[in-house]
Amino acid sequence: MIRHISTEDLSAYLDSELGFAEIVPLEAHCASCTECGSRLASLRRVVNGLGNLPRAEPPAALRQQIRRQAQAVPPTPGWQRRLDWLRLLLFPVRPALRTASAFGLAMLAGVFAISHGVADGFLRVSEPPPREDVEAYAGEAPVLLRQTTSEVAGRKFVWTDDGGWVQRGLEWATPETQLDAHSPQGRALLTRYSGLRLLLLEDGSSVILRDNLKTVVEIRNVPTPPRVMSGASQPRPGRRGHVMSA
């Protein structure tokens, strides 16, 4: 099988762009191969034809015209050159570049927004409200089978001997903060975990839970003073005992 010389190599040969090691076999091949020899001769004709094209002289008035215009235009100051670059970046002429530029700028804007926290409002996926399906609530517990666990907002609570509810896992933790259920902070917490209201019994039971994964909070349900002072009931003294098993 005869392997012919590529047009690229023939063209490079005419431009003296081949090394000696490539020239010798190429010349030998072209001397024996009619097809490659003929292609080389045709390419040479093309190169010679192009080289023979007469050079055009620019119009005589052009030089004067350019000189006159150049003198009228001051050289571009530095700030304007930078502005030109910006213009070129934002509004490139070629459609493909324009698309690429728009994509690039969008990426830059995204990176900037994320790194500076600007996009938090846009990117934050709206958190689903905490689950508040209370599976069981502490009420008047049956005598034989006392309800001791509850689940509120995806958290498990256990009933303690103190007469309060403690989030599972925090049985031995000391609350860092104590909030009155009727205080603004307590109300805010109860608004967030509204299912807790069901746990907070009228008789003054408390709830200990971990808020925001950081703070252990105890919400004490101090009953509002009754209008009739004599009927006021006092909350039971808080004492946390062992966790009763279910």
Partner 1 sequence: MGVATVYPSVHQDVALDVELVERHRCGDLQAFDEVYGRFGEMVYNLSLRLSGNREEAADLTQEVFLRIYRHLGSFAGRSTLKTWVFRIAINHCRDRLSRHVPPMQSIDGDPETGSVAITDPARGPEELAVAADEGRRVMMGLAQLPPVFREAVVLRDLEGLSYEEIAEVLGVRVGTVRSRIARGRDHLRLHLEKGL
Nearer to partner 1, 16 or 224 (CB): 16
Q: Does 21 bind partner 1 (CB under 8 A)?
A: no
Nearest distance, CB of residue 1 and partner 1, angstroms:
23
Nearer to partner 1, 96 or 228 (CB): 96
Nearer to partner 1, 61 or 228 (CB): 61
Annotate the chain with DSSP letters as a single string. Answer: ---PPPHHHHHHHHTT-S-HHHHHHHHHHHHH-HHHHHHHHHHHHHHHHHHHSPPPPPPHHHHHHHHHHHHHSPPPPHHHHHHHHHHHHHS-SSHHHHHHHHHHHHHHHHHHHHHTTTTHHHHSPPPPPPP---S---SS--SSS---EEEETTEEEEEBTTS-EEETT-TTPPPSEEEETTSHHHHHHHHHTTTHHHHS-TT--EEEEEETTTEEEEEE--PPPPSSGGG--PPPPP---PBPP-
Identify residues 90-109 at the interface with partner 1 (CB under 8 A): 93-94
Which range binds partner 1 by CB under 8 A, 3-11, 106-114, 159-167, 178-186? 3-11
Identify residues 38-77 at the interface with partner 1 (CB under 8 A): 39, 42-43, 45-59, 62-63, 65-67, 69-71, 73, 75-76
Nearer to partner 1, 93 or 143 (CB): 93
Nearer to partner 1, 30 or 209 (CB): 30
Given candidates 1, 2, 3, 8, which one binds partner 1 under the rule CB under 8 A?
8
Q: Does 15 bind partner 1 (CB under 8 A)?
A: yes
Nearer to partner 1, 13 or 159 (CB): 13
Binding residues for partner 1, rule: CB under 8 A, are 6-8, 10-17, 27, 30-31, 39, 42-43, 45-59, 62-63, 65-67, 69-71, 73, 75-76, 81, 93-94
